[in-house]
Amino acid sequence: MIDKVFEKSITKQFEFDEEVASVFDDMLNRSVPFYKESQKLSIDFAKNYLTNNDTVYDLGCSTASTLIELGKHCDFKLNLIGIDSSEAMINRATKKSKAFGIDITFFNNDFFEIEYKNPKLIFSNYTLQFIRPLNREKLVKKIYDSLEDGGLFIFSEKIITTDSKINKLYIDKYYEYKKDQGYSEYEIAQKREALENVLIPYTIQENEKMIKDCGFKHFECIFKWVNFATFIAIK
């Protein structure tokens, strides 16, 4: 379905409800620059570290696109687990994974309530930015503690910069991108208002500090387009 969520006047802050879940794949592809390319890159990197029967989690799995693509392009068995706090997303993900014939276990839970059982890899795509800063590092520490030695944390985030002029250029360029994707100025403004104080981005440096403070030995930015980036951290 085509994303028309913000064609009407907003009445609440952004949330991953049934209305958003029903158009989420279209929303991602039109709202996140080079989403497919960064996803493919993440999977290509992951495959170089994974072996048969490894466990992979996706925190904030939404409609399970990343786990489905990993399952489709891996020629060995993986234990795939998707977690999302949105029941609507989990329902969509369950139907979608079955349609693609990819075996994934789903949990409709808070990320802090799940015990991650010795994963080799944890994905988190555009998820940390929705977690309050006071809890964000706690979650990353939980991720670090649960990973196998040598395990990976691959995550994508919207980012900001400390330079005000460049930050404005980031915003202007992103708005230009969204207009090119068919979103009206009204839709763009509506979504920005809905996300105010809900999505709280960090700088690249803040993300790196958080990762290193939690114990990861290596941090790398493997993809960046203006104010969107994909990172890999190694335990």
- With a CB cutoff of 8 Å and minimum separation 6, the contacts of 183 are 6, 30, 31
> From CA 116, how far away is CA 206, in angstroms rounded?
25
Identify the structural domains of the chain with CATH numbers, from first to last: 13-234 (3.40.50.150)
pLDDT at 3 (0 to 100): 43
Report the Cα–Cα distance between both ends of the chain, in Å, rounded. 39
Q: Which residue in this structure is represented by tokens 């030995």?
A: 217
Q: 218, exposed or middle or buried, with CB in 10 Å at 0-12, 13-18, 19+?
A: exposed
pLDDT at 192 (0 to 100): 66
- With a CB cutoff of 8 Å and minimum separation 6, the contacts of 8 are none
User: What angle (nearest 5°) sits at the alpha carbon of residue 183, between those of residues 182 and 184?
Assistant: 115
Residue-by-residue pLDDT tens, the chain, 235 positions: 554 444 455 555 545 555 554 566 676 777 888 999 999 999 999 999 999 999 999 999 999 999 999 999 999 999 999 999 989 889 999 999 999 999 999 999 999 999 999 999 999 999 999 999 989 999 999 999 999 999 999 999 999 999 999 999 998 998 898 888 777 676 666 666 666 667 899 999 999 999 999 999 999 999 999 999 999 999 9
Instruction: Count the Cβ atoms, other than its own, within 10 Å of residue 121.
Output: 24
Contact (Cβ atoms closer than 8 angstroms) between residue 48 and residue 154: no
Largest CA distance in the chain: 49
User: What angle (nearest 5°) sits at the alpha carbon of residue 85, between those of residues 150 and 128?
Assistant: 50
Q: 75, exposed or middle or buried, with CB in 10 Å at 0-12, 13-18, 19+?
A: exposed
- With a CB cutoff of 8 Å and minimum separation 6, the contacts of 124 are 58, 59, 60, 143, 153, 154, 155, 156
Contact (Cβ atoms closer than 8 angstroms) between residue 46 and residue 154: yes
- With a CB cutoff of 8 Å and minimum separation 6, the contacts of 81 are 55, 56, 57, 58, 104, 105, 106, 107, 119
C-alpha pair distances (Å), 92 with each of 108, 126, 182: 12, 18, 25
The one-letter amino acid code at 3 reads D
Contact (Cβ atoms closer than 8 angstroms) between residue 136 and residue 157: no
Q: How far from chain centre, in Å, is Cα 224?
A: 14
